[in-house]
Structure 1
Amino acid sequence: MAGVPFIAIEGPIGIGKTSLAKKISSHFDFHLLKEIVEENPFLGKFYDDIEEWSFQTEMFFLCNRFKQLEDIDTKFLSKNKSVVADYHISKNMIFARRTLPVNKFEKYEQIYHILTKDMPVPNMMIYLHASLDTILQRIHQRGREIEQNIKPSYLAQLSQDYEDYMNEFELMHPTIPVIRINGDEMDFVRYQNDLDSIINQVNVQLKKVAEEARKG
């Protein structure tokens, strides 16, 4: 399974993770794994009152993402079928650290590590990032009603959290390539050249993943 392509796309809310995952899935004929977002019954309440609804929201996401990863492991990766996901489960810790009070975070962290201990790990990461203005513009453009009450200050903190996390991820996982895409400079939804550039970068890394698998 180590050589089976498993790509995870990460970045702040509204940055274009699902759009890019769909395009990569279509181009390479990979199975598309989409995170469950709007089905979370606590999310609207969370954006209105983060402190009150954070634990319920984060636990719902964690349990659903655990189930999704369990399914793709047994139904796809273990059968040598490639996967591209519009999230990495470690995003749960990014959000939990930001939203949960200390006592609840400690409980959450224990549950997280138990559930994710044996989960499949992506062998490629794509990190989408952009300025706050670009993120706010894209959230507005896609028009999800539950996201319209997100505070810009929360998004700014979240973007910094992602930046810190990805820097840490590269240090902790030097063998997992990270492709960084600046959303202020590239719009792969509107411009084919930008998408082609990303596809080319993915191609290069896929060849490296395959080569490492052959060596291993």
Structure 2
Amino acid sequence: MTTRVVIVDDHAIFRTGLKADLDPADIAVVGEAGDVDSAIRIIHELEPEVVLLDVHLPGGKGGGGAEVAASCQDLAPEVRFLAISVSDAAEDVVSVIRAGARGYVTKTISGAEVSAAVQRVAGGDAVFSPRLAGFVLDAFGTADVAVRDEELDLLSARELEVMRLIARGYTYREAAKDLFISVRTIETHVSNVLRKLQLSNRHELTRWAGERGLL
């Protein structure tokens, strides 16, 4: 079956070239976006099997590709994200994988390799460029990251959404409006997050989230 794909990159020329390089026999590009806000909207409208996602994007709250992936987790696991970037920086890889991406490849790979990666991600596999594989294993295998994973696992999906907004400086009212829930519900979630993470206030929460690349 043909895999439906949305390409998210802020360079139109790259999107055009990538679309031409993907195998048309197995992949159908059903949409494109060049910034965070339009990407979130289009992904929710089209619900593709795979999103090819650049890490550095304009718009939104400044979170780039990680923000897009995190904002579309309500569509998981039907929609899967494959990051594709010129960057192989540790903070970029870790942030987008933590946000929900299933893989990370660099823009140096060929069209055939991207096509194969799309199919593997669509099938549920995790895919990384060979030059990043060792780094990813090292990064997620450290004791420090293991502890962070355990802490994140304490939070529900909704608590994670609320935590990100509050840590980014949203007021309770702004967070409630953004998530379409009541201020009282936001207060309850924040109280639960602080208790689970053993933090005292939103300033500590902002520092905690920043250290983990979650902002």
TM-score bracket for the superposition, by shorter chain length: 0.3 to 0.5
Say which structure is richer in helix.
1
Superposition TM-score, scaled by structure 1 size: 0.36
Greater relative contact order (CA < 8 Å, ≥ 6 in sequence):
1
